[in-house]
């Protein structure tokens, strides 16, 4: 196995708190959950945090909270994991794809404006690779058109824009605690908001649409409850919440480590003709969930497939983020989406590679990634440039 593109970090404290949770009276929706939610609210500078069992459930709860239903349109970027757009469909809505900016692959505020119709209800901004979007512009657009602004911040926990933490930049912000993300609970997710009503709706939504949870009824000594909405069982266990609370304390240190690795890569790759790192906006602190290298079409004679295969052979397990969501067969057959809809995303998809990026990367591994990229692209650089941007054919 080569060096993976992402990996969790678990230490002995994490293991101990999970064992303590297993020995406690509460295995789900207990004191650890409440403490974890409060800690995430404080960390993100928001009033309310609602934990759920994964990031997609968090997106689904956010769609429910803002009232997405049949006939409603939600603007999303195609340069994301399918779950972002799937959550719209789960509520009966229609995802409308708006293209991204060429240099950052973040949703373009101008493209968002072009996609607004009388049916638009919400905008989902995805902090691709861990870089916060242009929330100043997006908030203005959302306010002008009366739309909800939802941040899919599954990549950007611990990042900020103009000193404001991710979580406080949109009406609702969604996190994932899958093992490759900034911190993990095995599987897990969270939504943060300053709106108490939205938080209440999401708390019900994760518990079958029931107004109280088991712990509240136990404390009140009552058995009676009411289901007032259709909900799901999207609860996060107390075992996971204990792990989350322990992991969260390490996020600032891990983000600093990711930023250091990114600057090492930036420095090593800035002189390459065949590829360039994505741009980082000066007003953000980038959380670097991913480190994305983009092949330069004019000076790289090799295709992404060739570079991908070469790096994999050298033990660097690069990945591709992402296949444009509407390229997936489900989206083509159910909604009739066709290539050509978002040309900037489609072009970027041909050229992006995610390099290994996680806090536990060793100095030796970082050096191996750098050398492998330099050798691979250097070898292709040595191939005489073909006129007209012609590329070596790939199978
Ligand atoms: C990981 C991720 C999700 C989904 O999170 P899960 O916890 O895997 O359900 C959604 N959006 C983006 C951008 C992600 O990276």
pLDDT digits (tens, 9 = 90+) for 110-164: 999 999 999 999 999 999 999 999 999 999 999 999 999 999 999 999 999 999 9
| Pair of tokens at residue 268 | 């090593």
Of 226, 176, 235, nearest to 206 by C-alpha is 235
Q: Give me ligand 1 centre to Cα 197, in Å.
A: 25
The residue behind tokens 């992991």 is 247
Burial 70-100, CB ≥16 within 10 A → b, else e: eebbbbbbbbbbbbbbbbbbbbebbbbbbbb
Q: Whose CA is nearest to atom 3 of ligand 1?
A: 55
The residue behind tokens 């605690």 is 177
The best mutation among 5, 60, 81 to test binding of ligand 1, ranked by most ligand atoms within 8 Å of the C-beta, falls on: 81
| Pair of tokens at residue 112 | 């968002």
Q: Give me ligand 1 centre to Cα 352, in Å.
A: 19
The best mutation among 176, 177, 232, 292 to test binding of ligand 1, ranked by most ligand atoms within 8 Å of the C-beta, falls on: 176
Q: Give me ligand 1 centre to Cα 56, in Å.
A: 6
Q: Is the per-residue pLDDT at 233 higher than 90?
A: yes
How far is residue 304's CA from residue 388's CA, in Å, rounded to a whole number? 18
Q: What pLDDT is stored for residue 301 in this prediction?
A: 83
Please report which confidence band the pLDDT of residue 384 belongs to, taking 50, 70 and 90 as the band edges: low
Please report which confidence band the pLDDT of residue 383 belongs to, taking 50, 70 and 90 as the band edges: low
In this structure, are residues 226 and 204 in contact, taking their beta carbons and an 8 Å threshold?
no
Please report which confidence band the pLDDT of residue 1 belongs to, taking 50, 70 and 90 as the band edges: confident
Q: Give me ligand 1 centre to Cα 224, in Å.
A: 36
Residues with CB under 6 Å of ligand 1 are 54-56, 80-81, 83-84, 126, 152, 154-155, 176, 178, 189
Per-residue pLDDT reduced to its tens digit, 180-223 = 999 999 999 999 999 999 999 999 999 999 998 889 988 888 88
Per-residue pLDDT reduced to its tens digit, 25-61 = 999 999 999 999 999 999 999 999 999 999 999 999 9
- What average pLDDT does the structure give for the chain? 95
Q: Is 276 a catalytic residue?
A: no
Q: Which atom of ligand 1 is nearest to the CA of 289?
A: 15
Catalytic residue among 121, 181, 250, 276: 181
CA dihedral 71, 77, 80, 83 (to 10 degrees): -10
Q: What pLDDT is stored for residue 395 in this prediction?
A: 33
pTM recorded for the entire structure? 0.95
Q: Is the per-residue pLDDT at 388 higher than 50?
A: no
Q: What is the Cα 244 distance to its own chain's centre?
A: 17
Please report which confidence band the pLDDT of residue 382 belongs to, taking 50, 70 and 90 as the band edges: low
Q: What pLDDT is stored for residue 153 in this prediction?
A: 99
Q: What pLDDT is stored for residue 273 in this prediction?
A: 87
Q: Is the per-residue pLDDT at 389 higher than 70?
A: no
Calculate what percentage of the chain has a pLDDT beyond 70.
96
């Amino acid at each position: 196995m080569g060096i993976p593109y992402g990996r969790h970090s678990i230490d002995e404290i994490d293991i101990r708190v999970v064992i303590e949770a297993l020995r406690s009276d509460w295995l789900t929706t207990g004191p650890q959950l409440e403490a974890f939610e409060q800690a995430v609210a404080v960390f993100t500078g928001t009033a309310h945090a609602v934990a759920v069992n994964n990031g997609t459930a968090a997106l689904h709860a956010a769609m429910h909270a803002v009232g997405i239903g049949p006939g409603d349109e939600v603007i999303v970027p195609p340069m994301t994991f399918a779950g972002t757009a799937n959550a719209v469909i789960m509520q009966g809505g229609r995802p409308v794809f708006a293209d991204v900016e060429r240099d950052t692959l973040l949703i373009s505020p101008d493209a968002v404006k072009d996609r607004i119709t009388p049916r638009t209800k919400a905008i989902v901004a995805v902090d691709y690779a861990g870089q916060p979007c242009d929330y100043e512009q997006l908030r203005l657009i959302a306010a002008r058109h009366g739309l909800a602004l939802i941040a899919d911040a599954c990549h950007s926990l611990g990042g900020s824009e103009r000193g404001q933490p991710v979580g406080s930049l949109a009406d609702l912000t969604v996190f994932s605690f899958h093992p490759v993300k900034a911190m993990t609970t095995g599987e897990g997710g969270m939504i943060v908001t300053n709106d108490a009503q939205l938080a209440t709706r999401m708390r019900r939504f994760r518990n079958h649409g029931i107004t109280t949870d088991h712990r509240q009824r136990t404390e009140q000594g009552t058995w009676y409850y009411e289901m007032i909405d259709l909900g799901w069982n999207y609860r996060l266990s107390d075992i996971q919440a204990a792990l989350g609370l322990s992991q969260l304390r390490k996020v600032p240190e891990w983000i600093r480590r990711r930023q250091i690795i990114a600057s090492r890569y930036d420095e090593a790759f800035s002189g390459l003709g065949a590829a360039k790192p994505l741009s980082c906006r000066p007003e953000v602190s980038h959380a670097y969930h991913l480190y994305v290298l983009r092949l330069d079409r004019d000076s790289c004679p090799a295709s992404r497939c060739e570079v991908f295969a070469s790096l994999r052979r050298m033990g660097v397990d690069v990945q591709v983020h992402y296949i444009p969501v509407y390229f997936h067969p489900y989206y083509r057959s159910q909604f009739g989406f066709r290539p050509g809809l978002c040309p900037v995303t489609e072009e970027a998809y041909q050229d992006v590679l995610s390099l290994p990026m996680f806090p536990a990367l060793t100095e030796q591994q970082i050096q191996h990634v750098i050398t492998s990229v330099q050798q691979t692209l250097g070898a292709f650089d040595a191939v005489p440039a073909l006129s007209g941007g012609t590329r070596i054919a790939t199978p």
